[in-house]
Amino acid sequence: MKEINLSHFFSQMNAKGEYRYITEGNSGFIIPRKEDEYYKPTIIIKRLDELEKITKEYLKVASEFYQQTDKLQLKHDYNYFLNHLFYNMTNSDATDLNEYVKKRISFFKDQHLKEYNLLSLLISNKDYCIYCKRDISNLGFESPYVLKFKIEMNGQSYDLPLIRYAIDDHNRCHIFAIQFERTVKRDNKKEEYKSVVNSINSGIKKYRNVEPSFVLVFKLFIDLLSKEGIQDILVPDYLFSRYRNYYGAKTVKKSDQILERILDHYILLLQRMEYQYKEFDISSYPNEIDSFTHISLNKKRKK
């Protein structure tokens, strides 16, 4: 990857017109074009003299991270990586670009759960076995790591939902997504193991729309985090990349409706976890403190 030149990057940004870059002394602002202001906040740079240094470190760490895979391609130059940074930040991240870049650097350096780089058995009984494996995500996804789960029963193997996550240098786990792999044929496979995943469903009418397989993998995941001594989880609300994906709905109102529906399902899953597991406590929701839902594990509840 060629040497980073932030001045060139910012001049290109101004030329393309998606953002406007301005400076004031040792600080700077990256301002979206007027028609994008609804879903792209102004990005604040508090120390310009520090930004180039930490950006170089980010590019070095990121390229080395992906070089161990077959995912890095010639098209993935520093413009690609920097644009990826912008599209995976929250409104809170945008208030200090330097700190956000440092956080993303720490994601790549994380060594938690590395023992699951090989397929590992989590649960084994006479009826089924559950395994997990930590993989590196493709470039462009919100997090460098993805934890994949599968269940084996009656001589068959079925994919469970996966978790896209990252752990920062403050020992906080950021969960970006809990979802089925797009290639999984959910309707065909769900019936085969529904007796297992439904066994965790306590018949809670309020949360009947929360799919039990999501609760199952989430509980397995927080058990793994607890063994690592991790007690804090952050779940972001809006990422630019998500809004961009649904901005094709033509109207802001329609985009909002789609995103709200996704986030509502996510919040319902978090509330179901809190209801069902005493070690899971939602400390705050987005916009109460920042752009994240804050979750505490194995701590005394405030309520």
Calpha distance 284→302 (Å, rounded):
11
User: What tens digit of pLDDT does each residue of 222-253 get?
Assistant: 999 999 999 999 999 877 666 555 555 455 56
| pLDDT score of 252 | 59
| pLDDT score of 3 | 65
CA distances from 251 to 35, 37, 87, 245, 267 (A): 12, 14, 20, 13, 24
296 and 281 Cβ atoms separated by less than 8 Å: yes
Percent of the chain past pLDDT 70, that is, above it, reads: 82
User: What tens digit of pLDDT does each residue of 199-220 get?
Assistant: 666 556 778 778 888 999 999 9
User: What tens digit of pLDDT does each residue of 117-138 get?
Assistant: 999 999 998 888 999 999 998 8
- Of the pLDDT bands very low, low, confident and very high (cuts 50, 70, 90), residue 12 is confident
| pLDDT score of 203 | 58
- Supply 43's token pair: 């990005």
Q: Does the pLDDT at position 95 exceed 70?
A: yes
| pLDDT score of 127 | 84
Predicted TM-score of the model (pTM): 0.87
| pLDDT score of 201 | 63
Q: How far is CA 275 from the centre of its chain?
A: 23
Percent composition of the chain: helix, strand, coil (DSSP 3-state, to 5): 45, 25, 35
CB-neighbour burial class of residue 209 (10 A; exposed 0-12, middle 13-18, buried 19+):
exposed
Task: Between 250 and 39, name the one with better pLDDT.
Answer: 39
Q: What is the DSSP letter of 200?
A: G
Q: At what angle do helices 97-109 and 48-67 cross, to 10 degrees?
A: 20
- Of the pLDDT bands very low, low, confident and very high (cuts 50, 70, 90), residue 260 is confident
Q: What is the DSSP letter of 98?
A: H
| pLDDT score of 64 | 87
Mean pLDDT of 166-172: 96
Q: At what angle do helices 212-227 and 252-276 cross, to 10 degrees?
A: 60
179 and 162 Cβ atoms separated by less than 8 Å: yes
Cβ contacts of 10 within 8 Å, gap of 6 or more:
21, 30
Calpha distance 249→256 (Å, rounded):
9
Task: Between 248 and 28, name the one with better pLDDT.
Answer: 28
User: What tens digit of pLDDT does each residue of 276-301 get?
Assistant: 899 999 999 988 999 999 999 987 65
CB-neighbour burial class of residue 100 (10 A; exposed 0-12, middle 13-18, buried 19+):
buried
Other Cβ atoms closer than 10 A to 111: 8
Which pairing describes strands 232-236 and 172-179: parallel, antiparallel, or unpaired?
A: parallel
Q: Identify the residue whose tokens are 């329609």.
A: 254
Mean pLDDT of 256-283: 85
Name the CA dihedral angle for 226, 230, 233, 239, rounded to a multiple of 10 degrees.
-120
Percent of the chain past pLDDT 90, that is, above it, reads: 45
Q: Does the pLDDT at position 193 exceed 90?
A: no
Q: How far is CA 150 from the centre of its chain?
A: 20
Q: Identify the residue whose tokens are 């940074």.
A: 85
150 and 220 Cβ atoms separated by less than 8 Å: no
**Pick from 32, 24, 28: nearest CA to 6:** 28
H/E stretch holding 236 reads: strand 232-236
289 and 234 Cβ atoms separated by less than 8 Å: no
Mean pLDDT of 266-280: 91
Mean pLDDT of 4-22: 80
State the chain's mean pLDDT as an integer: 84
